[in-house]
Chains A and B, each alone.
Chain A
Amino acid sequence: MGVTLESDTESNMNEGQTLAKEPLSTLSAVPSPTLLASSPGLPPNPPDSTSEQGSKTKSVLRDLRKVSTQRIHRSERIFQGTLLVGGLFVLALFATVLGVSLVEAWPSITKFGWSFLWTSTWNPHRHIFGAWTYIVGTFWVTGIALLFAIPIAILSSLFLSDYSPKWLVGAVSTLMEMLAGIPSIVFGAFGIIFMVPLLRDQVEPFLANTLGRHWDFFNGDAMGYGILAAGLVVGIMVIPLVATVTRDSLVMVPRETVEASYALGSTKAEMVFFVKLPAVVPGIIGSVILGFGRAIGETMAVLLLIGNQASIPTSIQDVGYTISSLLANTFTYAVIDPLYSAAEIELGLILLVISLVVNTLGRELLMKLMGGRLAGSVGGG
């Protein structure tokens, strides 16, 4: 961009503004100069040489410019107004969702107070509602999913960025993106026909016979369905998210850093492990937060696999219940009873607050660690 060109247009704008001022002042709606400066398509300022051709041409040009700037001002305002509507709509939408949920959940909030959070009884029959079982179940599934997804995603992105042959990079990253776009119900069905029999007949008996001998945590009656199946399938859904963001940040590691590491005599493995990996830790954290957001709200796949039993899991083979799958299963019924539906909406609010808090914390963390370079990649869960 030429500096001279920029200053030239700027002077044009200023002139255009003084010209436009006369008719607009009657409307008492003078646009700000900053707004004008951003408007493209102003007619070019006639060079000084034209003055030789007489004042007639000049006045015609001046009139023309007056009309066009006026028109531009109007369209600018309309455009600005339209954008404002869009922006306000999003705000209003969020306020409405939050407001309606709060109002609808109010009977439950006032009746149970904070104890709603740590009460583990959920009995619509007796009008006792508590969220603890469902919060625990939600974190179990999310935890298993992240524990499973993060190592695999990091290994795969390191392989892709430094060790993989070129032809494989394209194929794998395309597949990753496709994997991220598959609807969750498909993964749920895959879980039922593949994961459940595998867990029931192979993995869970194996776990019970090896680790289960020493720790009750790995024992249980092999069902296939349960927090393990749900967690693993959600993990599969989270892998592409974590892997893609991690690989993107690996690519962003400066070449000079890598070369400096080689210059100091490190091997490739040492370079990857001691230089590249620490450099992308913030990116990994960001992607994990993204994955957390995906995992915590996942509904359909979890509902199909978790075994929907409102009890707190004590073993990896146990069944459980998450907030989202409870809502999906019973909300159409809960509307029959105001307190019942209030309690379920309060559960939804808890889910909303958890993901808001985690996303905000994650964003703050990223801002601190990366100076906001990657913060944009951490969107809403």
Chain B
Amino acid sequence: MNFVKRSFGLAAALAVVSVLSGVGSANATDLTISGSTMLFPLEQVWANAYMKSHPGVHISVASTGSGFGISNAANGNITIGASDAYLTKDLRKRYESLASIPVAFDDTQVIYNIPGIGKSKLIRMDGPVLARIFMGKIRFWDDKAIRAINPSVKFPHQRIKVIHRADASGTTFVFTDYLSQTSKEWYDEIGRDLSPSWPVGSGYNGSDAVVAAVMATPGAIGYVGLGWINEYHLSSMALKNLDGYYVVGSVKTIRNAGKAALHDPTFPDDFNRSIVWNLHGKDVYPDANFEFWMVSTSLPAATMLEVKKMIIWALTKGQHEKYTVKTGFAPLPFAPLKPRLNKILNRLLPGNSLKIESGG
């Protein structure tokens, strides 16, 4: 009994001390990051590194899906919500307080398993044909539409087996975004969504399951992000971009896409548009995307200061290749990002000018 009382007293004293010091130096903070499963590996690495260099800050990271990240960041259950998808008009209307901050580049690539076609052979693909495949309108690999883009490849007469994600996924959003931008048919009938109503195929839970299903099923076609391409040493199709070049996704071509988007004067300051949209250039991959952190502007000021510090760290030091490339992302180019970023950060915490300098 006595022991319990004493330890209670001790705990109370400790709590008082920590609250006092928290008020004094904003030291003992808890940040919760939750959302996108795609961004989760990078967030884990970031959280560990950040906690090491910033003692007193505790960050807990969870992988719960982009939808959860957006809605819970908006109602204040979590400090930072992670999302693969930007805030569409609908979502911006529903969650007015949210600001989206791009924190890394990712992409979606098309993988395949065609019997008799080796890894070294480059398969080209364009949006309209890909859309017709995923709509079930092109059903065999030796269809003349596919052969027309790949005159040098000899395709077998094999059924195409479409493989897609079953869970709501940012990868799906980016993939269907590309199809929506390039194929009117797809845009009219299905559209872009984290979980669209797929006309054909079979669905699997998570990118690992998609990779496994594509590798095990002869004739399969599927899509995954850059991280999985690297991890499983997969070969992916070269996708046709706006200028007519066929480009394979890689850290370099994704960065090119991001730079092209950021240099585009019509690109909105709040980043609420896909970077798949209207990109010019030779080596620009047409299906890249930003990964976002969603922060509510109605967070209390003390927390917001910490969040802002964390964001700036993630955008500068956190972009180092040992964090980003290692977990399957491409680092953001800081210079073209800076003016737009300042606007967002000012929206988050007006009047409090933290010096933003490139850290890496």
CA distance A308 to B198 in the complex (A): 10
Interface assignment of B60: CB less than 8 Å from any CB of chain A = no
| Contact status B161-A304, CB under 8 Å | no
| Contact status A124-B195, CB under 8 Å | yes
- Chain B residues with Cβ below 8 Å from A310 are 197-198
- Chain A residues with Cβ below 8 Å from B71 are 335-336
Interface assignment of B111: CB less than 8 Å from any CB of chain A = no
- Chain B residues with Cβ below 8 Å from A126 are 191
Closest to B204 in A: A308
Known: A224-B217, A308-B203, A319-B202. A122 touches B68 (CB 8 A): no
Closest to A326 in B: B166
Residues 177-230 of A contacting B (Cβ, < 8 Å): 196-197, 200, 221, 223-226
Interface assignment of A267: CB less than 8 Å from any CB of chain B = no
- Chain A residues with Cβ below 8 Å from B197 are 121-125, 310
| Contact status B203-A329, CB under 8 Å | yes
Interface of chain A, main secondary structure: loop
Closest to B91 in A: A336
A-B contact count (CB 8 A): 86
Interface assignment of B321: CB less than 8 Å from any CB of chain A = no
Q: How far is the CB of A124 from chain B (nearest CB, A)?
A: 6
Q: How far is the CB of B157 from chain A (nearest CB, A)?
A: 13
Mark contacts of B135-176 with chain A using CB atoms, 8 A cut-off: 1 yes-contact digit, 0 otherwise. 000000000000000000000000101000011100000000
Closest to A303 in B: B205
CA distance A197 to B218 in the complex (A): 12
Known: A123-B197, A223-B202, A309-B198. A333 touches B168 (CB 8 A): yes
Please classify how large the interface on chain B is, using the bins under 10, 10 to 19, 20 to 34, 35 or more. Answer: 20 to 34
Interface assignment of A367: CB less than 8 Å from any CB of chain B = no
CA distance A199 to B159 in the complex (A): 17
- Chain A residues with Cβ below 8 Å from B193 are 124-125
| Contact status B167-A330, CB under 8 Å | yes
CA distance A291 to B195 in the complex (A): 32
Known: A223-B161, A329-B168, A330-B168. A307 touches B202 (CB 8 A): yes
| Contact status B65-A332, CB under 8 Å | yes
For A309, give its contact among B66, B70, B200, B217 (CB under 8 Å): B200
Interface assignment of A311: CB less than 8 Å from any CB of chain B = yes
Residues 139-177 of A contacting B (Cβ, < 8 Å): none
Interface assignment of B38: CB less than 8 Å from any CB of chain A = no
CA distance A123 to B176 in the complex (A): 14
Known: A121-B197, A307-B203, A308-B203. A221 touches B67 (CB 8 A): no
Interface of chain B, main secondary structure: loop
Q: How far is the CB of B96 from chain A (nearest CB, A)?
A: 15
Mark contacts of A291-307 with chain B using CB atoms, 8 A cut-off: 1 yes-contact digit, 0 otherwise. 00000000000011001
CA distance A148 to B66 in the complex (A): 39
Task: Report how many residues on chain A are interfacial, defined by Cβ distance under 8 Å.
Answer: 31
CA distance A327 to B141 in the complex (A): 34
Interface assignment of A102: CB less than 8 Å from any CB of chain B = no
| Contact status A330-B195, CB under 8 Å | yes
Interface assignment of B128: CB less than 8 Å from any CB of chain A = no
- Chain B residues with Cβ below 8 Å from A333 are 65-68, 167-168, 194-195
Interface assignment of A334: CB less than 8 Å from any CB of chain B = yes
| Contact status A332-B67, CB under 8 Å | yes
Residues 66-89 of B contacting A (Cβ, < 8 Å): 66-68, 70-71
| Contact status A332-B68, CB under 8 Å | yes
Known: A124-B195, A303-B166. A336 touches B70 (CB 8 A): yes
Closest to A192 in B: B212
CA distance A126 to B190 in the complex (A): 9
Interface assignment of B33: CB less than 8 Å from any CB of chain A = no
| Contact status A221-B68, CB under 8 Å | no
Q: How far is the CB of A320 from chain B (nearest CB, A)?
A: 9
CA distance A325 to B196 in the complex (A): 16
- Chain A residues with Cβ below 8 Å from B213 are 225
| Contact status B159-A226, CB under 8 Å | no
Residues 8-51 of A contacting B (Cβ, < 8 Å): none
CA distance A377 to B66 in the complex (A): 43
Closest to B176 in A: A125
Interface centre among A121, A124, A332 (most CB of B within 10 A): A332
Interface assignment of B216: CB less than 8 Å from any CB of chain A = yes
- Chain B residues with Cβ below 8 Å from A226 are 202
Closest to B65 in A: A332
Q: How far is the CB of A131 from chain B (nearest CB, A)?
A: 14
| Contact status B65-A125, CB under 8 Å | no
For B68, give its contact among A200, A321, A335 (CB under 8 Å): A335
| Contact status B216-A197, CB under 8 Å | yes
Q: How far is the CB of B304 from chain A (nearest CB, A)?
A: 24
CA distance A332 to B206 in the complex (A): 14
Interface assignment of B183: CB less than 8 Å from any CB of chain A = no
Mark contacts of A309-331 with chain B using CB atoms, 8 A cut-off: 1 yes-contact digit, 0 otherwise. 11100000001010001000110
- Chain A residues with Cβ below 8 Å from B209 are 304
| Contact status A309-B202, CB under 8 Å | yes
- Chain B residues with Cβ below 8 Å from A336 are 67, 70-71, 91
- Chain B residues with Cβ below 8 Å from A307 are 202-204
- Chain A residues with Cβ below 8 Å from B65 are 332-333
| Contact status B205-A329, CB under 8 Å | yes
Q: Which 8 A-B pairs have the closest CB atoms?
A: A333-B168, A307-B202, A308-B203, A308-B166, A333-B67, A336-B67, A319-B202, A332-B65
A-B residue pairs in contact (CB < 8 Å), sample of 15: A124-B196, A124-B197, A125-B191, A197-B216, A308-B202, A310-B198, A325-B166, A329-B205, A333-B66, A333-B67, A333-B168, A335-B67, A335-B71, A336-B67, A336-B71
Interface of B with A (CB < 8 Å)? 64-68, 70-71, 91, 159, 161, 166-168, 190-191, 193-205, 209, 213, 216-217, 219
Q: A125-B197, A307-B202, A307-B203 are in contact. List 5 more A-B contacts (CB 8 A).
A: A125-B191, A223-B217, A319-B202, A329-B203, A336-B70
